[in-house]
Amino acid sequence: MPWKECKPMDERIRFIARLLDGENMSALCREFGISRPTGYKIFNRYKHLGLQGLENQSRRPYRHANKLPYQVERTLLHIKREHPSWGAPKIREKLIREFPMIKPPAKSTIHAVLDRHGLVKRRKHRRFRAQGTALNATNTPNGLWCADYKGEFLLGNHQYCYPLTITDYKSRYLLACEALHSTRSDFAFSVFERAFKDFGLPQAIRTDNGTPFASANAFFGLSRLSVWWLRLGIKLQRIQPGKPQQNGRHERMHLTLKHEATKPPSFNFLQQQDRFDRFIDIYNQQRPHQALNGLYPADLYTPSTHRYLPDTEPDYPFHDRTVRVTQCGRLCIGKRKINLSGVFAGQTVGIREVADNIWLVSFMQYDLGFFDADEGRVEPASNPFAPEL
């Protein structure tokens, strides 16, 4: 048996018909499951509008509490068209002076009116999009290191493992393979610091644009990890997004690692790290490499002569002053707080006035951007790490 469809319009007509036949209002309201005020409301609408009054009515309010009167809005638009360069604050002051009897709307309300009529020029925010950097090969060990995370996999205890690997570009020597709980920068810091202590510092490091090597919301994609590398004098190389072949030597090592040390996975992190350590020894000391004419990576690799030492504070002799970035990523200059970026927290930067009330912010030899007397944040300069065309 099909369901009986019940429409509000039909129910209201039945309600009015029975009411006109002389039935009691209270009894009808109880039967139809409505209150007496609702019943009288339906009946009164029928008396004034007929059957049209029984249709669903619009719930749109008669007036908007925050809507400006038409005359005020027209006056605001007239002022804006007379002075196209004026913004909401100046238009509000002009309205107060010329029409003191009108209650002035808020600046945000005036701006919303201008925006609704297409009279606001929107600023184009410069958002960093990863494009990669110049990629330079090397013919000497430690001229370039390659780093990446092999894809995560599930251990026997149902925990995810994120192996961080580092190799030498020239010799293919596997410098590190650490089983980590996540891609957090704190874990990566410890792995790279141990590699720097054991093997010295490379001239450059090549990575992709993912976390923690890069950050999409910071200046030029820098991250806390890459800022630390710059402090140590290490150059940055980033492959273009979606082109892992630009780090092909490292990706080929990952394929060997996957077959020999992750399938099947171990039960926990300790057991998996033990397999990684054994793989490092075999890969470097016992496995002939076809691209090296059958030599072992250990036959070609030698530690770097550039030893890892605690980094010293950058010096800015050609800047007006040196400022330390706060933990929240700001420059505190007197009572002013200028937003820079959290990746520079704790670092010192140089500030130099390059024009009237316009200052340049630099980190080491890299110019980050500019701020002025009114702006509360640093606008990025040209990307110093972009590939040269």
**Range 70-116 classified under CATH 1.10.10:** yes
CB within 8 Å of 134: residues ≥ 6 apart:
237, 387, 388
pLDDT digit string (tens) for 56-68?
777 666 555 556 7
pLDDT value for 61: 63
DSSP letters of 327-347?
TTSEEEETTEEEE--GGGTT-
Query: In this predicted model, which residue has the larger pLDDT, 173 or 125?
Result: 173
**pLDDT reading at 23 higher than 90:** no
pLDDT digit string (tens) for 81-115?
888 888 888 888 888 888 888 888 888 788 878 87
Supply the pTM of this predicted model: 0.66
Domain ranges of the chain: 8-54, 70-116, 145-200+242-300, 321-380
**pLDDT reading at 354 higher than 80:** yes
pLDDT digit string (tens) for 275-325?
999 999 999 999 999 889 999 999 999 999 999 987 778 889 989 999 999
Alpha-carbon gap, residue 275 to 265, rounded angstroms: 10
Question: Angle at Cα 136 formed by Cα 182 and Cα 360, nearest 5°?
Answer: 75
Best mean pLDDT range from 11-15, 278-282, 353-357, 363-367: 278-282
pLDDT value for 86: 86
Gap between the terminal Cα atoms of the chain: 75
Question: E strands, the chain, where?
Answer: 145-149, 153-154, 160-168, 174-180, 204-207, 235-238, 321-324, 330-333, 336-339, 348-355, 358-363, 366-372, 379-380
